[in-house]
A = this chain, B = another copy of it.
Amino acid sequence: MTVYKAPVEDVTFLLDDVFQIDRYNNLPGFSDASADVRAAILDEAAKFAEKVLHPLNHSGDQEGCTRHDDGRVTTPAGFKDAFRQMADGGWLGLSGPAEFGGQGLPVTLSQTVNEFMISANMAFSMYGGLTMGAMAALLVHGSDQQKATFVPNMMTGKWAGTMNLTEPQCGTDLGLMRTKAVKQADGTYKISGTKIFISGGEQDLTENIVHLVLARIEGAPAGIKGVSLFVVPKRKVNADGSSGEANGVSCGSIEHKMGIHGNSTCVLNFDNAVGTLVGEENKGMQAMFVMMNEARLGVGVQGLAQSEVAYQNAVAYAKERLQGRALTGAQAKDKPADPIIVHPDIRRTLMSIRAFNEAARALVVWTALKSDVAHRSDDAKERQAADDHMGLLTPVVKGMLTDVGFANTVAAQQVYGGHGYIQETGVEQFVRDARIAMIYEGANGIQALDLVGRKLPKDGGRAMTAFFSEVTAFAKENGASEEMKAFVAPLSASLQHLQQATMWLMQNALAKPDNAGAASTDYLHLFGLVALAYMWARMAKTAQDKLAQGGDQPYLKTKLVTGKFFVERMLPETALRLARIQAGAATMMELPAEAF
């Protein structure tokens, strides 16, 4: 009932033309991802997403997960078989290291594939997404033995992975954590406590589950500095590497959620479960932070992916639904009414979503590319610059893409009128599923605070200075061209707003930190708008160059019109964001809590 077609042409335009990733063939893995190989992979991924995952999306939502009395959890019909196909297709190891069974291809490529999977079936994609996240953490911080024990089995999807952070009394503030780890004579730890909101915490897809668990070692310092990371398999691992007897981990219940019903969100009870330390004692947060950038980028992709699939369905409905006549006179005279895509307000809705999606996709590719450079370059300076960029842009990608992505699913639903409110049409599921992405992996308010309080001032503002320089240089280089002016002039104006906001923070937030907190969400969106405008300017440049060389006329011209819509209609929001930031914190902090 819903439709989905993976945007392969758009991804190819970004990888091949806008970012020309062949220029990075000096980095490990990139030359293996030649244009042909990329095309073949995207084609396969598209097929898998469209034909295997998408048909299970609505049924998975309707059926949901079931916890049985013995603590087992059954995922929706079809998920087990699809997970097997995903694992066998090598999708979990696309950008994993070859020595552990991965294919070593760029994250730039695997993030585009992720978008397809998430658009097709967000709840399903999370089982694999968390497994990839857990692998990433083990690869950076695990011991050789931990890597050898767990990673190859996760890369093939024989085992899955989870992340266990949240407890009833602690979400954002992990310093309040209570789960305990007691060191044993053999160097292992016994973990006890309750973790909540554990995605994929129990399921019937894999023979074992590798839980990464934050806990406090007996006697550790209070607060966040006493938290350590452990790996705790659901079933203990035998000496020969196979899954053995049950460890002390059980699923106490599964949550009834607004959406992502196909993913089992568990309360996990750890009762003297045996685990081993990952990295150093009391350095658990550092180990988690490593993986957070990529996990947050992945959640940003969820916002984009739901916005994309919602857009596609709204377009299909708008072309098919006959209602009223165009304001300029009947268009489909042979029909009882015109398709609603003739109405400007419907156009406005569709163009807004589309203009966001295409730039958001570019932003994901750009940021993922920096991630690859940060991890794979042999030039320390290049690595540092890429890492700066990745750190700075990650909260923006996570916060902006999920806030606007969710709002876009709501806008797409609106196109359907009353039919959008009915479960059978499927569009309301996109709204419910997309909603979680604004919350988990650091609620968006936390992303905004991370940006303003940590990433912006870090190293004397080095990352932000580099961003300003890059955009300014692009504007200087391209501003003279008559064709590019329509993009460069608004980009420069919006950049000025961002610079003014940054200056305001420097002048007002040091003495009064509440001014930073009060500005944070607006600053994140202001930054996001400028970043998207920069993406549009780069895409426009590429499109104009390709048009001049006789490229695919309709595709490239549509791209330019869509970009123009963005700078005309959506980018003016930067002035509003600036005005709000400059209003400061005084009024919002004035009332005592009792007045609320």
Residues of chain B contacted by A351 (CB below 8 angstroms): 587-588, 591
Partner of A517, one of B343, B569, B590: B343
Residues of chain B contacted by A585 (CB below 8 angstroms): 344
A443 within 8 A of B: yes
**What is the CA–CA distance of A415 and B57 in the complex, to the nearest angstrom?**
28
> Knowing A513-B328, A517-B345, A561-B591 touch, does A171 contact B257 (C-beta < 8 A)?
no
* Chain A 325-363 residues near chain B, CB threshold 8 A: 327-328, 336-337, 339, 341-351, 354
**What is the CA–CA distance of A21 and B350 in the complex, to the nearest angstrom?**
45
A55 within 8 A of B: no
Interface size on A, residues (CB 8 A): 94
A70-78, A89-97, A105-113, A428-436 - the one binding chain B = A428-436
> Knowing A414-B438, A418-B171, A576-B576 touch, does A256 contact B341 (C-beta < 8 A)?
no
A156-164, A370-378, A444-452, A497-505 - the one binding chain B = A444-452
Partner of A516, one of B176, B319, B323, B327: B327
A568 within 8 A of B: yes
B345 and A520 form a contact (CB under 8 A): yes
**What is the CA–CA distance of A197 and B422 in the complex, to the nearest angstrom?**
10
A424 and B256 form a contact (CB under 8 A): yes
Residues of chain B contacted by A259 (CB below 8 angstroms): 421
A596 and B341 form a contact (CB under 8 A): yes
Q: A324, A406, A596: which has the most chain B beta carbons within 10 Å?
A: A596
Could you name 16 residue pairs across A and B whose Cβ atoms are closer than 8 Å?
Answer: A166-B418, A171-B417, A255-B422, A256-B424, A258-B422, A319-B596, A327-B517, A328-B514, A344-B517, A344-B585, A350-B596, A351-B588, A417-B443, A420-B439, A572-B579, A575-B579
Residues of A within 8 A of B (CB): 166, 169-173, 175-176, 196-197, 255-259, 315, 318-319, 322-324, 327-328, 336-337, 339, 341-351, 354, 406, 410, 413-414, 417-424, 428, 431-432, 435-436, 438-440, 443-445, 448-449, 513-514, 516-518, 520-521, 554, 558, 561-562, 564-565, 568-569, 572-573, 575-576, 579-580, 583, 585, 587-591, 593, 595-596
Instruction: Give 10 nearest A-B pairs by CB, closest first.
Output: A344-B517, A327-B513, A572-B579, A344-B518, A258-B428, A345-B445, A173-B323, A256-B423, A568-B583, A347-B588
